[in-house]
Amino acid sequence: MPQLLHIDSSARRDSFSRELGEAVAAGWRRAHPGCVYVHRDLAQRPVPPIGEAWTEICDAVLRASITDVARYPEAVRTPAQREAWAIVRPLLDELVAADTVLISAPMYNFSVPAALKAWIDQVTFPRMSLAGRRFVVAYARGGAYGPGTPREPYDHHERYLRDFLSGHFAVDDVVFVGTELVNARVDPALAHRRAEHDASRADALAAATALGTGLGAPARGAEAVEESAS
């Protein structure tokens, strides 16, 4: 059964990245009610940073040339490693089971939130491929970082995620949909660009809804299932 994994990472409960992510997810659920929807909120339930035991598992996987995710438990041997694996296992199971992964990610300090980076670290192992899956990133940024803008060189947000997903997970099917200039709502220095933000938000919401509706048609009808890891 096709499955959507939805990851939220904004520290704000009412955020623009969450708004866009929910628009994608809602469109997907309406179009494909028989599919499985799993939601994980990294702000409400933070994932801890990796520790030494995780690095030991990672080294053992690399040393044994294990590339099959199902064989990772073979590298878990000590009590500390078992504790580390208890954190990894449910996160990894959700990721591997998903056909589509939706990541709602605001730009913080030119990059991704620490909560999202912690999740990425926990679920990433050497030579691990997620090829064949689709990733969607719903984002929001305080300023404008698009092509040709003065701040384009400071974008370590979309560029990081795109490079990581392609370079490490071998995933090239990545779609970004986002809202820019959200700080125009609160920063007097950007107040004159509020109309640009409003237009960006409206366009992004329309694109997110259309995108969600068109994602991952189910192979067969099934009973609606919704799960939450929030």
Tell me: pLDDT of 1 over 80: no
Task: Sort strands 174-179 and 134-140 into parallel, antiparallel or unpaired.
Answer: parallel
How many domains is the chain built from? 1
The pLDDT, as a whole number, for residue 62 is 96
Q: What is the pTM of this model?
A: 0.91
What CATH number did the domain enclosing 18 receive?
Answer: 3.40.50.360
Give the range of the structural domain holding residue 49, as residue numbers without chain letter: 3-228
Residue range 14-22: average pLDDT? 96
Residue 97 tokens read as 């089971």
- Alpha-carbon distance of 146 to 49, in angstroms, equals 31
Centre a 10 Å sphere on the Cβ of residue 128 and count the other Cβ atoms it contains: 19
What are the tens digits of pLDDT across the range 171-205?
989 999 999 999 999 999 999 999 999 999 999 99
- Bridge partners for 197 per DSSP: none
What are the tens digits of pLDDT across the range 137-180?
999 999 999 888 999 999 999 999 999 999 999 998 999 999 99
The pLDDT, as a whole number, for residue 219 is 39
CA angle (50, 158, 90) in 5-degree steps: 35
The pLDDT, as a whole number, for residue 214 is 86
